[in-house]
């Protein structure tokens, strides 16, 4: 049964899952009721490679549509942990300039891959050193890093995400919660992780997945416990961003793609689940 909205979250979405053209991205998101966009790439170019001229052109397009940027979805930390600390720190400097140019304080990051045969425990110290350096730069620059629990990185389970948050202990490092990614590593997201990570949870990335196959599906159709997660966030007074990342057509190293039709299906599924829990989207 749908409840009357008593909480409102800001709706965003990964524009490049709709189309490479940011003008089309913006039009579709606006039609779906979003007030924001999450920028991972534009015109087929990842945010880590956008030129100042492209950033300015993108900002002009989004301003004309009156669409704001919720976060820059960077690939920082989606590299092997064996690379020098400075490698990702320098890339983050570039990404921060993109975030500033697009007028957002949030930058999504990851916590590093490891070579085949190495355990998470073996790379822990190296991961924490790199995450600490990234957080220090973010704090100095006035941005907030959002760690996404991607599969196969160090922080892919709730316990290791918590380890990062507690060990780095920086206000410039927070959690971007992804139910589907937890499912894909054998975790029941709400049951296993919500209570311990809620103090750090600042951003919701919206997708669901089946535990049997790992296939990504629309909200509420998988095993991601999205219903329970939404209800708990509402009860806790969450009022941040919910960003659609459907991954319904294809996935690749730097993200995924859905297309306008599948993206719309994902958006409507999440809106129905939010409405059921008395959460409005704007």
CATH no. for residue 38? 3.20.20.150
Rounded distance, CA 218 to CA 241, Å? 18
Task: Give the pLDDT confidence of 59-114 residue by residue, as tens digits.
Answer: 999 999 999 999 999 999 999 999 999 999 999 999 999 999 999 999 999 999 99
The answer to whether residue 273 sits within a structural domain is: yes
Tell me whether residue 105 is in a domain. Answer: yes
- Assess if residue 2 is contained within a domain: no
Q: How confident is the model at residue 35 (pLDDT cuts 50, 70, 90)?
A: very high
State the total domains in the chain.
1
Structure confidence by residue, pLDDT tens digits, 196-243: 999 999 999 999 999 999 999 999 999 999 999 999 999 999 999 999
Q: Is the residue at 266 inside a domain?
A: yes
In a domain, 173, yes or no: yes
Q: In the structure, what pLDDT confidence band is assigned to residue 181 with cuts at 50, 70 and 90?
A: very high
**What is the distance between the alpha carbons of residues 103 and 36, in angstroms, rounded to a whole number?**
12
Would you say the pTM of this structure is higher than 0.75? yes
Q: Is residue 23 part of a domain?
A: yes
Q: Are 42 and 15 in contact (CB under 8 A)?
A: yes
C-alpha closest to that of 196 among 224, 232, 171: 232
- Does residue 29 lie in a domain region? yes
Query: Distance (Å, rounded) from C-alpha 258 to C-alpha 250?
Result: 7
Q: Predicted confidence band at 4 (pLDDT cuts at 50, 70, 90)? A: low
* Residues 156-168 pLDDT 10s: 999 999 999 999 9
191 within 8 A of 149, measured Cβ to Cβ: no
Q: Which pLDDT belongs to residue 199?
A: 98
The residue range of the domain holding 265 is 7-281
Give domain status of residue 1, yes or no. no
Segment 257-269 mean pLDDT: 88
- Distance, CA of 229 to CA of 203 (rounded, Å): 12
């Amino acid at each position: 049964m749908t409840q009357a909205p008593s909480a409102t979250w800001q709706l965003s979405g990964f524009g490049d899952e709709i189309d490479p053209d940011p003008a089309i991205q913006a039009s579709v998101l606006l039609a779906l009721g979003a007030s924001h966009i999450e920028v991972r790439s534009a015109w087929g170019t990842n945010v880590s490679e956008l030129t100042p001229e492209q950033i300015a052109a993108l900002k002009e397009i989004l301003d004309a549509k009156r669409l704001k940027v919720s976060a820059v979805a960077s690939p920082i930390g989606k590299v092997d942990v064996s690379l020098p600390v400075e490698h990702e720190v320098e890339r983050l400097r570039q990404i921060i300039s993109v975030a500033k140019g697009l007028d957002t304080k949030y930058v999504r990051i990851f916590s590093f891959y490891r070579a085949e045969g190495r355990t998470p425990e073996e790379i822990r110290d190296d991961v924490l050193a790199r995450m600490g350096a990234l957080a220090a730069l973010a704090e100095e620059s006035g941005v907030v890093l959002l760690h996404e629990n991607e599969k196969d990185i160090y922080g892919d389970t709730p316990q290791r995400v918590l380890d990062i948050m507690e060990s780095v202990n920086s206000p410039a490092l927070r959690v971007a919660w992804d139910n589907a990614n937890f499912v894909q590593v054998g975790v029941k997201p709400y049951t296993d992780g919500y209570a311990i990570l809620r103090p750090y949870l600042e951003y919701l990335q919206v997708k669901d997945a089946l535990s049997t196959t790992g296939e990504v599906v629309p909200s509420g159709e998988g095993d991601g416990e999205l219903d329970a997660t939404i209800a708990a966030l509402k009860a806790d007074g969450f009022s941040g961003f919910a960003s659609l990342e459907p991954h319904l057509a294809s996935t690749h190293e730097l993200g995924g793609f859905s297309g306008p039709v599948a993206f719309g299906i994902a958006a409507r599924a999440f809106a129905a689940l939010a409405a059921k829990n008395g959460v409005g989207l704007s």
